[in-house]
Amino acid sequence: MKKKLNSIAGVTLIEILIGILISTIMMGAMFTSYTAVNNTYRQVTDKAKISQAGRDIVGMIVRDIRMAGFKYFNDNITTNDKHAPIIITKATNFRTECDKIEIVYGDVNYKKTGTPKYTYERFKITYECKQSTVPDKSATQLPNGNFPAIQAFAIYKSKVKWNSSANDWWDHTLDNDSRTYEDELIVDYIQDLIFNAIDDKGLLISPPPTPSNANKDYLYKIKTVDIALNVRSTKEFFRKKDKRKFYGLGDATRDGTGSNTKVKDDKFLRETIVVSAHARNLGLQ
C-alpha cells in the first residue's frame, strides 16, 4: 500500500529560507564581533609598538648621556673645547629639524702584547633628526611617479674617534676603527626630539652651554638632561581626523597649540615619552 504524501516528514522551502536567514544573521553578528575585537587588538598592538620603539631609543640615549664626560684616571689625552661632554643644539625651525645632542666620553684600548698596553681614546656620539624618507602612499604621486615622504623625522646616530695627531675628530671615511660609524638610522616616524640641559639646582640652562656662548661656565655643571621624544604610529589609528596635539617639554613655541604647525589634523596616534638622564660623570674633570 502506498504511503500518503502528507505523512512523509520533510522541510519546506519556506523553512529552508528561514534557516538560511537565521544563519546569515548569526554569521553577520559573529563577523561584526570578530572585526571589533580584531580592530581593538590591532590598536593595542600598534600602540604597544610605537611605545616600545620610543622607549628603546630613549633608553639608548640615556645610557650614552650617563657616559658623558667619563675618562680613565690615567687618561693622557689633552682636553680642549672640542671635548665638551655634552653639546645640545636647539632646533629653530620645528618643521625641518629637531634638537641635536653630541656626547663625548673617554675609553681605553688594551693590547696584551702592545707597547704601551693601554692606549687611551676619546669618542663622540651624535644623535640628530633628518627628514624621513618613508614614502607617503596616501598622498598624490609626484610627476616622476614617486610618493612624497611622510611628514615626520628619522633619528640618526653617529660615532667618531678623536685623532690626537690632527687635533680633531676623525673623518669616518678615513677611520678604520670598526667601533665607529656614520649616520646610522635608529628609528623612523618621529615628530619631535627635545633635549634640555638642567643644572645642579634643577634649573633649565638656556641657551644650552657651548664652549663659545654666554653659558660656557655651565659646560661641566649639567646634572641632568631632560629628553622628550614624540613618535607617531606608522598607520592611521583613529577612524576620524582630528587635531592631534603634542607638547614641547615646557617650550610654548613647540607646543601643539594655536596655529602651531605641530597641530596635525589626521588619524595618527602620537605618544610623547619624557625621561630625565643623569649625567653622572660631569664635574669630574
Spell out the residues 6+ positions from residue 188 whose beta carbon is closer than 8 angstroms to its own.
Answer: 132, 134, 152, 154, 155
Greatest alpha-carbon pair distance for the chain in Å reads 119
pLDDT given for residue 43 in this prediction: 63
Along the 285 residues of the chain, how does pLDDT read in single tens digits?
A: 455 555 556 667 787 788 788 888 888 777 777 666 656 656 666 677 777 888 899 999 999 999 999 988 888 898 899 999 999 999 988 888 899 999 999 999 888 887 788 889 999 999 999 999 999 888 888 888 889 999 899 999 999 999 988 999 988 778 788 889 999 999 999 989 999 999 989 999 999 999 999 999 999 999 999 999 999 888 888 888 877 777 777 777 776 554 455 566 788 888 889 999 998 877 554
In 3D space, the residue among 252, 260, 271 whose CA is nearest the CA of residue 189 turns out to be 271
* 195 C-beta neighbours (distance < 10 Å), count: 25
Look at residue 203 in the predicted model and tell me its pLDDT.
93
